[in-house]
Structure 1
Amino acid sequence: MSDADMMQLYSKRILALAADIPHLGTIESPQGSAKRRSPQCGSTVTAHLRMENGRISDFGQEVRACALGQASAAVLGQNVLGASRDDIERGTRELTAMLKENGPVPAAPWDGLEVLIPARDYPNRHASILLAWQATLEAMDQAESG
C-alpha cells in the first residue's frame, strides 16, 4: 500500500470519528452483550445494550480496532439509540454491500459510513469495519431471547 493510499484510507474525517466514538464502555445491567473479533487483524468490539419496545434504549461499546473499525463504530454509536433490529440489519446489509459490491452509501441515518468508501479496495479491513454492527446484532439476539 502506497503512502498516498494510506493517507486516503486514514483520512482526517476517519481519524476524527475514531477519536470520538459515542457510547464507549459498558452499561449497567445489559440485557445483551456480545463480543466479535476479526481473525485477520485481531480487532475486537463488544456491544452491550438494553432494549425497550423493540428498540435499543441503552448502549455501550468497547472498541479495540483499527481507525476504520473505530470510525464504523462511531457512526453506529451516533445513531444507535432508538434503533430497531430492522434498522441495524439494514445498516449492516447496506454497509456490507457498499464495501464488497460497490453498492451505494447506506441510507440515513447511516449515511456517515460514506467516509469508509476508500476501504472498498482493502478487503482485509472489511471484517474490522463490520465488527460493531455484528456485535450489536448478536447482543440484540441475546436481549430478545432473554
Structure 2
Amino acid sequence: MSELYHNRILELAAEIPHVGRLADAEGSVTKVSRVCGSVVHVDLKLDEAGETVTEIAVDPKACALGQAATSILAEHAPGAPISEIIATRDALKAMLKDGGPPPEGRFWELRHLEPVADYPPRHASTMLAFDAAVAAIEEALQKRAAAREAAE
C-alpha cells in the first residue's frame, strides 16, 4: 500500500486547484464510489463551439488517490479539448484495468497512479473525477442541443 500513497500522490491530493462550485455551470455532475464512499463533484463550462473546457470547479470528498486524480484534472482541464479529456478518461481506465500505458499529454501526471492497477477496490475512486468530468461534458452538450432544438 505504501507505493500507492507516495509523496507526489500526497502533494497532489493536498494541492487541488479550482475547488468549489460554478454558479453558472453548463455541466454539473456528482459521482460516488460504491466501494469506498468517495464522492467527487465536477462543474464545468465549455467554449462557444462546445469543443473546449473553459472553466472547471471540483469538490472532492475522496481518498488521497481520488483527490490526486481530481487535482490533475482540475489543474489541466481549463483549455483542454473535450476530446482529450474523454481520451484521458479512457486511457486512465485502460491503465488501471487492462495494463495499458499511462495517459500522456497535459494529464501525464496520472502516471503516478499506475500502482493502483494492482488494487481493484481503488479503481473506482481513482476514476471518479474523470468519470464526472466526462458526464458533465455530456450534460453540457445535451443542454446546448436541447436549447438549439427549442429555438428552431
Fold match by TM threshold 0.5: yes
Mapped to 2, the partners of 1:119 and 1:64 lie a distance apart of 19
Mapped to 1, the partners of 2:28 and 2:122 lie a distance apart of 24
Is 1:99 the counterpart of 2:99 in the alignment?
A: no
- Aligned-pair identity (%): 39
Mapped to 2, the partners of 1:142 and 1:75 lie a distance apart of 22
Per the alignment, residue 105 of structure 2 pairs with: 108
> Cα deviations across residues 51-101 of structure 1 (Å, max 9, x unaligned)?
112211111011011000011111111110012221111100111111111
Secondary structure of 2:18's aligned partner = coil
Secondary structure of 1:46's aligned partner = strand
> Scaled by the length of structure 1, what TM-score is found?
0.93
* Structure 1 residue 23 displacement after superposition: 1.0
Per the alignment, residue 37 of structure 2 pairs with: 42
User: How large is the Cα RMSD of the aligned pairs?
Assistant: 0.9
* Structure 1 residue 142 displacement after superposition: 1.3
* Structure 1 residue 28 displacement after superposition: 2.5
Structure 2 gap ranges (5+):
144-152
Secondary structure of 2:17's aligned partner = coil
Is 1:18 the counterpart of 2:8 in the alignment?
A: no
Which is worse superposed, 20-29 or 32-41? Answer: 20-29
Q: Which runs of 4+ in 1 moved over 6 A?
A: none
Larger radius of gyration: 2
Mapped to 2, the partners of 1:80 and 1:65 lie a distance apart of 19
Per the alignment, residue 57 of structure 2 pairs with: 60
* Structure 1 residue 31 displacement after superposition: 0.9
Q: Matched residue pairs, number? A: 141
Which is worse superposed, 78-87 or 10-19? Answer: 78-87
Secondary structure of 1:13's aligned partner = helix
Secondary structure of 1:144's aligned partner = helix
Mapped to 2, the partners of 1:97 and 1:145 lie a distance apart of 26
Structure 1 gap ranges (5+):
1-5
Mapped to 2, the partners of 1:56 and 1:16 lie a distance apart of 25
Counterpart amino acid of residue 60 in structure 2: V
